Structure 1
Amino acid sequence: MLVLCLVLLCTFFVGVFVWTVLQHFLTVDVPSTLQHPAKFRFLHCLFLYALTLGNIFERLGICSRPRFTQLLHGFVRTKKDARLVVTDLYFGTIPVRLFQSKAESSILQGGLEDMVKMVPSDTCPHCDTFVPCLLFRYRKLPDHHYPNCLNASIHFLKALETYRVDPSRVVICGDSTGGAYVVCVTQALVGRSDVPQIRGQVLIYPLVQIISLQLPSYWQSRNKFMMTCMLKYMVIGFHWWEAILDGAFMPPDFWRKYKQWLSSDNIPRRFRKMRHQPVFPSPFNGAAYLENKHLLDVDNAPLIRDDETIAQLPKAFLVSCEHDILRDDTLLYMKRLEDQRVPVMWYHVEDGFHGSLLLFDKEIFLFLCSLKIVNAIANYIKSI
């Protein structure tokens, strides 16, 4: 009986993998500019495999898909480095993890990311120290949201000397949803006199709005998984999928007011390669608005923050990837900053894709675009 169960279980997992491989080759068109297409296909098949298993387990009531993804992420470990001291502690009630260099450094900086990551000198040829020398890791979805990040950031900023961080050289950074947290935290700290000012913000393909979802990069990528994650993140019922995509949940006066910041007209012409020009927004749906109006709150869409706040933000370094559903979010936010004369540096990765930063220390899954991003970030932080 046990042998039979093992055989059935193995057959199930193998069958799901074969199905995901077929799905990949039938639905995924690997861009010609992407380096190492075979490696990318293999990685994408593994990703689809994990996603499919998560869907199956969720439908069977075994485990939710976000929880399953979180469980898998726990098996992916950052490489240990003898030059680092790793400390687990609490900022108030929030568990955090601090990474500090054992060696004294002439560059003392702090950073916030949604993944633990250090940039050692053997990865970046232009760096002779760790950049940054201290980070903390905050709690993630699906259990925890943005306020934890703000509270942890304030606690950290009030205790910089404890962690040997120069208050005048604090850099806050993050990617994807972590980039969204950085944007919100940085905006929330504007005007506060009880904490040191942030020296710079590093935003790696950040999520800055879930309002205008007919931008060119959304059509180019057509990443249903990312869209699903975004809707889950904002606690949106899937029966409102079409109303959200078409913008039908937006009152007409809202679009008239914020179109100047949300429209694809603000994206450089070379990125507007759309064969189809969708009608956006669709006719207003009052019911969709009542259940999804939280998407229009500035805390959930920091792109539409008022000009006065935007103008006081610290200098920024923005990273965008060509093959990324959030590419145009980065471009729109860059324009918001530039319009308010915030110093901005922009680094665009032609062969980059969403999440590529996560792979910079994964050896067999390493992509050149990952190293490009890491080196660009390290060089920027050292220059300010």
Structure 2
Amino acid sequence: MGVGLAILIMGFAALFAAFLLLLIGLVYAELMNSEIPRGVTGRWKLHAIHILFVGVAVVGRILERLGLCHQISVVLWAYGNLLVCRRPAPPGLHIRDLTFGGVPVRVYQPTAPSAGGRRGLLYFHGGGWVTGSIDISDEICRCIAKESETTVVSVGYRLAPEHRYPAPLDDCEVATRGFLSVAEAEFGVDPRRVAVGGDSAGANLAAALCQRLAKKQDGHLSSPCAQVLIYPVLQMADFSLPSYQQNHAVPLLFRGRAAFYYLQYLNGDVSLCQDVLEGAHVPPDLRLEYGRWLSPELLPAQFLARGCGRVEPPPYDAEAYHAVRTGLDPEMSPLLGEDEVVRRTPRAFVLTCEYDVLRDDGLLYRRRLEDLGVAVSWHHVPDGFHGLLSFYGLSWLSFPAAGPAMDSVVRFVETL
């Protein structure tokens, strides 16, 4: 008995020591690799959250190497428990899980009577096309539905790496068409007042879907009346824009991870990550063409104040281009869409955060839409970072900047 107890104590001690070393390593790596500007309100909380997220990823990788489970499964499980506040539906809101065309959705339906057809919003969650879920976007959708008295449909599209492009976009189209076809009869929603939107990768899907539907307009089904783009990722051509330089190491999205997620969505070949980050995958003629839309000179001067350098393009790598060329198509990079298609997309709301590598994607798309005559409402969060709204309504995890940001989304939805 004494020997067994001693072995048990030694085992616990070894586990504790391993945990302590892992924690020390994570803290050290966070302080060495992350750069959170003082302008971020709650910067130390963000440091702590990022340490937790990185720790989950490290544990997931260890378990994957041991053959116990896939890293993504661990990440999804952890996010589902950390970022989900499971509560009953609040008064005035009816919540139920359904499917449209086989795609799972969660419908948030206000119970108060509405004069005429109600507004609707199809919401696509973020997560780099790899993580995220209906559950994680639950607080965002509850807030929009309740505060704006809008029927919100959160779409559980398929995720990479098991389901790569175009599966997530196809699912969003199926769910959108499915809802529009029954919006009035089953939900009392005016199909002419239905928008699509999302955050991060979800905003990419919303913008891409608007362009896809603009090309397919046949008069038989209403198209979205607006697009709600919350810190959207919109192009795979240039990872050296000023916001990528200024915020390259700001959690929750590092510059390198942005390219990683794009590649996971596209083909899973992350060995091309460095080529993509440097821009070797873009032919000289396309680089010249994209310059009309991606030039830093198109950005308001205030967003150059923190500095940025001119990045010389590397030698063109034809092999890299052919491996990732689909990533430059408008359905993956909506900012690179054809003028005639972008011009036919609905009015937009664009939310950007100062300390986000994707800030300039949103700013440049706003400029492009406006230049083509598309009405745009814009809200900028000066102390915000990528993923800010993921913590909205989650008690101590929430950040002060999330409230005004969410209010701006609600105010726009109320105009539908």
Query: TM-score w.r.t. structure 2 length?
Result: 0.84
Structure 2 residue aligned with 1:155: 178
Q: Aligned equivalents of 1:236 and 1:252: distance in 2?
A: 25
Q: Are the aligned partners of 2:281 and 2:324 in contact in 1 as well (CA < 8 Å)?
A: yes
Please tell me whether the aligned partners of residues 119 and 132 of structure 1 are also in contact (alpha carbons under 8 angstroms).
no
* Residue matched to 2:413: 381
**Change in CA separation of 1:25 and 1:151 when aligned onto 2, cut-off 3 Å:** same
| CA distance, structure 1, for counterparts of residue 247 and residue 69 of structure 2 | 28
Q: 2:30 is aligned with what amino acid?
A: H
Q: Amino acid of the residue matched to residue 170 of structure 1?
A: V
**Following the alignment from structure 1 to structure 2, what is the Cα–Cα distance between the partners of residues 245 and 279?**
12
Check 1:78–1:130 CA distance in 2 against 1; reply closer, same or farther (3 A cut). Answer: farther
Corresponding residue SS for 2:312: coil
| Residue type of the alignment partner of 2:365 | Y
Among 2, 15, 21, the residue aligned to 1:15: 21
1:379 aligns to what SS in structure 2? Answer: helix
Once residues 35 and 206 of structure 1 are traced to their aligned partners in structure 2, the CA distance between those partners, rounded to angstroms, is 21
Q: Shift of residue 49 of structure 1? A: 1.6
Distance 1:129 1:264, change over 3 A: closer
| Displacement after TM superposition at 1:311 (Å) | 1.1
Q: CA deviation at 1:350?
A: 0.5
CA distances 1:119-163 after superposition (whole Å, capped 9, x unpaired): 699x79xx9745433222223422342211111111111110212
Q: After TM superposition, list the pairs within 5 Å mapping 1:59-74 onto structure 2.
A: 59-74=65-80
Q: Secondary structure at the match of 1:212?
A: coil
Q: List aligned pairs for 1:274-289, cutoff 5 A.
A: 274-280=307-313, 282-289=314-321
Q: Which runs of 4+ in 1 moved over 4 A?
A: 1-7, 118-121, 127-131
Whether contact under 8 Å (1:110, 1:165) holds in the other structure is no
Q: Aligned partner of 2:33: which letter?
A: T
The aligned amino acid for 1:160 is A
Give a deviation string over 1:206-261, Cα, whole Å, max 9, x none: 11111111111111222133443233222242332222112112222222222211
Match of 2:341 in 1: 309
Displacement of 1:204 in angstroms is 0.4
Q: Which residue of 1 aligns with 2:119?
A: 108
Question: Which residue of 2 is the match for residue 256 of structure 1?
Answer: 288
Partner of 1:77: 84
The reply to whether residue 29 of structure 1 matches residue 35 of structure 2 is yes
Tell me the equivalent position of 2:404.
372
In structure 1, how many angstroms separate the alpha carbons of the residues matched to 2:257 and 2:271?
16
The answer to whether residue 368 in structure 2 is matched with residue 336 in structure 1 is: yes
User: In the aligned structure 1, how far is the partner of 2:259 from the partner of 2:66?
Assistant: 22
Counterpart contact for 1:120–1:131, Cα < 8 Å: no
AA aligned opposite 1:217: S
Are the structure 2 counterparts of residues 56 and 226 from structure 1 closer, same or farther at C-alpha, using a change threshold of 3 Å?
A: farther
1:117 aligns with 2:143: no
Measured in 2, the distance between the counterparts of 1:289 and 1:73 equals 34
Residue 79 of structure 1 deviates from its aligned partner by 4.5
Q: SS at the partner of 1:368?
A: coil
Is contact 2:293–2:336 with CA below 8 Å preserved after alignment? yes
Aligned residue in 2 for 1:132: 150
Q: How far off its partner does 1:14 sit?
A: 3.5
**Which deviations, in whole Å up to 9, do the C-alpha atoms of 1:76-112 show, x marking residues without a partner?**
3244233332222221222222222233345532332
Distance 2:49 2:400 in 1: 15
The answer to whether the 8 A contact 2:140-2:392 is kept is no
For 1:337, what is the secondary structure of its paired residue?
helix
Distance 1:63-1:215 versus aligned 2 partners, 3 A rule = farther
Secondary structure (helix, strand or coil) at the match of 2:198 reads strand
Partner SS state of residue 158, structure 1: helix
Distance in 2 separating the partners of 1:32 and 1:202 = 29
Q: 1:120 to 1:193 in 2, by over 3 A?
A: closer
Q: Is the 8 A contact 1:110 1:172 kept in 2?
A: yes
Paired residues of 1:131 and 1:381 also in contact (CA < 8 A)? no
Report the secondary structure of 1:171's partner residue. Answer: strand
Give the structure 1 partner of residue 251 of structure 2.
none
Deviation at 1:318, TM superposition (A): 0.3
Of the three residues 211, 216, 221, the one matched with 1:187 is 211
Shift of 1:44: 2.1
Question: Unpaired runs of 5+ in structure 1?
Answer: none
1:249 and 1:289 in contact (8 A); partners too:
yes
Aligned to 1:318: 350
Report if aligned partners of 2:110, 2:149 keep a CA contact under 8 Å in 1: no
Give the structure, 1 or 2, with the largest relative contact order (CA under 8 Å, sep 6 or more): 2
Residues 119 and 230 of structure 1, relative CA distance in 2, 3 Å threshold: closer
**Paired position in structure 2 for 1:47:** 53
Show CA shifts across 1:30-71 (max 9, x none).
212111223222222212222322333344443333332222
**Structure 1 vs Structure 2 CA RMSD:** 2.4
Higher mean displacement: 75-84 or 244-253: 75-84
Q: Verify the 8 A CA contact 1:54 1:65 in the aligned structure 2.
A: yes
Once residues 9 and 228 of structure 1 are traced to their aligned partners in structure 2, the CA distance between those partners, rounded to angstroms, is 32
Residues 266-281 of structure 1 correspond to what in structure 2 (within 5 A)? Answer: 266-272=298-304, 273-280=306-313
